[in-house]
Structure 1
Amino acid sequence: MTQAEVRKAATPRRGAMYGAMMLMATSAIGPGFLTTTSVFTVQMGASLAFAIMVSILVDIAIQLNVWRVLGVSGLRANELGNAVLPYLGWVLGGLVFLGGLAFNMGNIAGAGLGLNAMLGLDPIIGGGLAAVIAVLVFISRRAGVALDRIVVVLGAIMVLVMLYVAVVSAPPVGEALKNTVMPEEIDGVVITTLIGGTVGGYITFAGAHRMIDSGYTGPENVGEITRTSVLGIIVTGVMRILLFLAVLGVVATGVALSEDNTAADAFQHAAGEIGLRFFGVVLFSAGLTSVIGASYTSVSFVTGQETSQANRSWLTIAFIAVCAVGYLLLGKGPQQLLIFAGAFNGLILPIGFTIVGWVAWRRRDLLHGQAYPKWLLVLGALAWIFTVYLGVFTFSDIVALWG
């Protein structure tokens, strides 16, 4: 085979892996991500830098383990759970599905608010339009390719726009760096919510499930699986840091930001009218990619790999429709709904990660006999203990968020 033929053969593989990576990142970088980071920056100021650092470290530990175990085994998390203990996978799938419903209502609302900020469109019409676009992705005959391409393009747009706003807001970088290691304030609920909004619930498995559906699994692909998972977390971490700095730059000047749409107000104060339009671009992109990611992954938890692509697409379309109607009927404000959903997903996280950790530790048969790196197992165990601790000690506070 010539070098040109090798490159041509590798192109679909590379596209699928990039798509899986960006699906993980853009599922995390949703309206909830923008909302929680902005609200908590206003509440905690530069001290939020510590919570962000902790969340990124936990994200890396979790995703390295999740991608490796699922990727090498070739099994989705729900299938892996059923292999460990009968019906355990379906219990996890049910919890993730419920978390995905809650998150997706906020994602649709967020996309609608994004179009309102960008074009002045009514948020309800904007949310409906975002749901229609997401449906069209899954109606496509080449739904997988369409999914991969749209999340890569929109993800790149979000990072570039966020970089611009972070620069023009002129944040106190030195103060943020100091609080990264010596925070003036630490809040367990904030840390749980940030982690839950980045790797909680369905988000934990979005990229790994997409990778499995693309067929690039098994011990022979472990190197690429690891590299792709780390790149996805880096993209997510960079986006969170840029957003934090953008809002911090505004907060540091003493400006009081709106409680109803904190992020939009911060962008407008940082860059004027164009800042508000840019926020609309980011929020719409974040909302649309998260609607796609939440729908795809939530449905993957209640179906098997034997389910046909056509049936899976129709189930995903139905899921999107239910979420759109649910948001209209629920009546909760988008900001409140998104913060609660992130916290709820943070409580689900230890359950799914327990399955992954058990397989890594005790079930080499599910990993095709491959030995699991001890350093990675220890890293995963520490992350698991930390998430369980946070979940237990912040549960009552998280329930209160719904009130």
Structure 2
Amino acid sequence: MQATQAERGTPAQRNVLRGAIFIMATSSIGPAFLTQTSLFTEKYLASFAFAILISLLIDIGAQLNIWRVITVANRVIPGVGHLISAFIVLGGIAFNIGNIGGAGLAMNVIFGVPPIIGSLIAAVLIIGIFLLRNAKGVMDSVMQVLGPVMLCMIGYAMLQSNPPLLEAMSRSFNPDDPLILLLPIVTLVGGTVGGYISFSGGHRLVEAGITGVENVRLVTRAAVIGIATTGVVRICLFLAALGVVSQGLTLDPSNPAASVFSHSMGTIGYKIFGVVLLAASVSSVIGAAYTSVTFMYSLHDSIRRHNQRVVIAFIACSTLIYSLVGQPVKVLVVAGTLNALVLPLALGCILLTSRKSNIVGDAYRHPTWMLMFGILAMLATAVGVVMSFNALLEFWQA
């Protein structure tokens, strides 16, 4: 059945919706995404497909609830409180440290410049976007270009690695040991919809005025497409890595994702990885900075008025910390897991908000099945974080 004009939205709305979809998807498809997927594929082999499947189901349950409620309420997560906002901002900084580091590594791979210098160059270029008069429009366009670039290149790497598809499909439902997959499941959820990421596209829709009951179908479709886009890219990268390790090859622990591309395509693959990593890093820096700053709006009105300057300061701060800290691989995995800790808190507030007519309005009724889906996602993430805490400590100390 063909969608009506109202369901498709106006051309301007469709452009913002595409921007929201890609700001969410590309925020999650950053250096952490590439590192986590490659690292866990080498460790758990085809059984990692089960972790991807379960994490995607949790992602959909979380994102559908969050996007619908904040756009119907027409404000930035009412009731979430300063504590959760602080966690989300801190998580955004943690991710951005890794994102900036990824950009520096990408510049090193492509152009041979030292990573620190490369990160500074990338940060200056990204800051340049936010200095433009139509920064949000340019941001939407950049996200819509970088997303397909990453998908095509990762898809090509998958085809070149010749992965065991039948085994991956079988292990999606019958893993060797589901319990040992708790840490990767929690980490994937945290890296896809944890912390600031699940709110990134939703906040973009609120700022663009795509709110209210009349736009619920548009928002729902965009939320599902955003998660589906992330899922397709993760599956392609998983299969590419699985094809490599199934041949008995090992991944470089200091940069496992680069090994996937270099093993499957040689020197040209290593350069392609540099392009993918640069696209992933730039898009994630933009998404993390933009969304984290929107969570600061409740602190003072001047932050909303001068949001572009605050975003620039956020990026500069992340760049400075990266130049002092280092160790991006461990930081990226741990940041994903810690961001998963924020998700049940924020999602719980969203689910409570969905039942308050004084916030979402009398005309909106949040579907009961969606509420239950969200509760399951919240409980699964909370239990997973607690049960995987020891595994996370072991990983950090290794």
* TM-score calculated relative to the size of structure 1: 0.93
Give me the identity figure in percent: 43
CA distance in 1, matches of 2:102, 2:316: 16
Aligned to 2:48: 48
Code of the residue aligned with 1:37 in structure 2: it is T
Preserved CA contact (<8 Å) 1:107 1:287: yes
Return 235-244 or 365-374, whichever deviates more. 365-374
CA distance in 2, matches of 1:101, 1:395: 21
Counterpart mapping for 1:355-374 below 5 A: 355-360=349-354, 362-369=355-362, 370-374=364-368
Preserved CA contact (<8 Å) 1:38 1:262: yes
Q: Root-mean-square deviation (CA), in Å?
A: 1.5
Preserved CA contact (<8 Å) 1:44 1:185: no
Aligned to 2:3: none
Aligned to 2:223: 229
Aligned to 1:318: 313
Preserved CA contact (<8 Å) 2:151 2:233: yes
Q: Does 1:391 align with 2:385?
A: yes
Q: Which digits, 9 at most, give the CA deviation of each residue in 1:321-342, with x for residues without a partner?
A: 11000011123x1111111111
Aligned to 1:31: 31
Q: Does 1:116 align with 2:101?
A: no
Q: Does 1:177 align with 2:169?
A: yes
Q: Which digits, 9 at most, give the CA deviation of each residue in 1:109-143, with x for residues without a partner?
A: 01111122222222111111111121111111111
Code of the residue aligned with 1:315 in structure 2: it is V
Q: Does 1:327 align with 2:302?
A: no
- Unpaired runs of 5+ residues, structure 2, are 1-5
* Corresponding residue to 2:260 among 266, 272, 285: 266
Aligned to 1:205: 199
CA distance in 2, matches of 1:275, 1:121: 19
SS of the residue 1:248 aligns to: helix
Code of the residue aligned with 1:11 in structure 2: it is P
* Corresponding residue to 2:278 among 280, 284, 290: 284
* Corresponding residue to 2:160 among 141, 159, 168: 168
SS of the residue 2:210 aligns to: coil
Aligned to 1:338: 332
Preserved CA contact (<8 Å) 1:344 1:398: no
CA distance in 1, matches of 2:215, 2:271: 42
* Corresponding residue to 2:139 among 140, 147, 163: 147
Code of the residue aligned with 1:183 in structure 2: it is P
Preserved CA contact (<8 Å) 2:68 2:220: yes
Code of the residue aligned with 1:326 in structure 2: it is I
Q: Which digits, 9 at most, give the CA deviation of each residue in 1:226-285, with x for residues without a partner?
A: 011111111100000000000000000001111111110111000111111111111000
Aligned to 1:85: none
Preserved CA contact (<8 Å) 1:200 1:348: yes
Aligned to 1:196: 190
- Unpaired runs of 5+ residues, structure 1, are 1-5, 82-87
Cα distance change, pair 309–137 in 1 and its aligned pair in 2 (3 A): farther
CA distance in 2, matches of 1:92, 1:321: 23
